[in-house]
Amino acid sequence: MASSTPSIVTHAGRRPALPSETRFDRQLGKILEHATEVFDEKGYEGASMRDLSRASGISLSGLYYYFESKEELLYLIQKHAFTTILERLHQRLDKASDPELRIRLLVLNHLEYFLANRRAMKVLSHEDEVLKNGFGSAIRALKREYYRICVGLVDDFKRQKGLEVSSRIAVLSLFGMMNWIYTWYNPRIDGDAEEIASEIADIFLHGISAVRDSKRTKKRAS
Amino acid sequence: MASSTPSIVTHAGRRPALPSETRFDRQLGKILEHATEVFDEKGYEGASMRDLSRASGISLSGLYYYFESKEELLYLIQKHAFTTILERLHQRLDKASDPELRIRLLVLNHLEYFLANRRAMKVLSHEDEVLKNGFGSAIRALKREYYRICVGLVDDFKRQKGLEVSSRIAVLSLFGMMNWIYTWYNPRIDGDAEEIASEIADIFLHGISAVRDSKRTKKRAS
């Protein structure tokens, strides 16, 4: 199950652990959690370092020990979310080979993380284009990796079933269904991540399975 | 086709036209357009009346002739968008009786407006919960009206086809597919509103048509 523990999850084996990882991470995790709340309430542009200091109970100079700017903080929040989602997705996909099941696992993985981290979900959606230069490129690379995995899963499913739907429109429609949930999800009405994931995956899988019209797929690379 | 003309569209017959409607509206429309750009760039919280004055070339006191506060301005932007969408939808639905066609018209109507007004679309999505009290209630009432029309269309389609999918999950998934488009739409790759509307309606209609599992619909009102 998705945990909202705010530790910085790293890609195992991709970068070496920092010498002081545990303690540093715990404190940084706490800051990221407070910063997510502040960005959610005031918006990234409207939030000041002073707001962040007040919310986290850490002095301004203390905050600058962990990151150099408000932009770096937003970068860390986004990086944390996407690396966590990707890491968990890889773990899940490693154990499944059926194309339909793999798409269902993708939906479950995404919704489990987002329903457990709804404020992060909103900040990710709203502050999507704020990061520039290096920070922006790094996040875009993570998103591209995620998008490509999803397109790969949809392509596998299409091959198995002989479908011709556009993978681009299919995957982006699926992201829309999943990401829009932060605007309407009510746990008392809508059940848990597993229930919603099952319903959304049903609509998506049946939806793309029945699309036989190939006029668009010929016009562009899927 | 959707026009981006920023005149204030009113529900015919619901409120009397202002004596000076044309001139007042033209100026207010111009302000709304500039304000949409400023809110898009700086976020609602981050934007000041001074920014709005600079962007529109209208003095601060001139701005206050048209609205009393930044909040009222955001309200006018949202009201304009939803009344326009609803008015056009009613015009379209008046001419069609087939349940599937009526859902296709809903998707086309929504995407036509949003692809022609992408900045407004982003401001509507991002500043969804900012308005409080009377302004907030008025916008929520418009959204509820829109949501209910969509649920009605899906219910009609379900009755005709004998389907049991949850109308709530179906309609909110459809809104997700449609509203998320502002994050990825590229006119050179994705074609016009009519093309995307057709593809999204295909996925949606086939998706809900194949869902036969009734375990959820029994648990709650659809």
Q: CA-based Rg of chain B, rounded to a whole angstrom?
A: 19
The answer on pLDDT for B182 being more than 90 is no
SS3 label, residue A94? coil
d(CA B185, CA B173): 18
Q: How many CB atoms lie within 10 A of CB A28?
A: 20
ipTM given for this complex: 0.78
Chain A residue numbers with beta carbons less than 8 Å from the beta carbon of B175 are 180, 184
- Please state which of the ranges A101-115, B93-107, B110-124 shows the lowest mean pLDDT: B110-124
Residue A80 has pLDDT above 70, yes or no: yes
Tokens of B42: 């700086």
Interface of A with B in 36-75 (CB under 8 A): 42-46
Domain covering A15-66, topology: Arc Repressor Mutant, subunit A (1.10.10)
> Domain A70-210 adopts which CATH fold?
Tetracycline Repressor; domain 2 (1.10.357)
Give Cβ neighbours of residue B24 (< 8 Å, ≥ 6 apart): B18, B66
pLDDT top residue among A118 and B14: A118
H-helix or E-strand spanning residue A68? none
If pLDDT is split at 50, 70 and 90, which confidence band does A21 have? low
Cβ neighbours around A101 below 10 Å, total: 15
B7, pLDDT greater than 90: no
The pLDDT > 90 percentage for chain B reads 48
pLDDT tens column, A198-207: 999 999 999 9
Output phi, psi for A9, to 5 deg: -85, 130
**Which of A45, A143, A169, A208 to mutate to probe the B interface, most B CBs <10 Å?**
A169
User: How far does the CA of residue B125 sit from the closest CA of chain A (Å)?
Assistant: 8
pLDDT tops 90 at residue B201: yes
Say if A178 is an interface residue toward chain B (CB within 8 Å): yes
What architecture does CATH give domain B20-67? Orthogonal Bundle (1.10)
Specify whether the CB–CB gap between B69 and B116 falls below 8 A.
no
Of A222 and B78, which is predicted with more confidence? B78
pLDDT tens string B57-77: 889 998 888 888 888 988 988
> Residue range A163-192: average pLDDT?
92
What is the token pair recorded at B102? Answer: 């009526």
Spans of all domains in chain B: 20-67, 70-210
- In whole angstroms, give the CA distance from residue A196 to residue A112: 10
Residue reference for tokens 């920092």: A18
Which residue in A has a C-alpha nearest to residue B204's C-alpha?
A207
What's the mean pLDDT in B188-208?
Answer: 94
pTM for the model stands at 0.80
- B20-67 and B70-210, same CATH topology: no
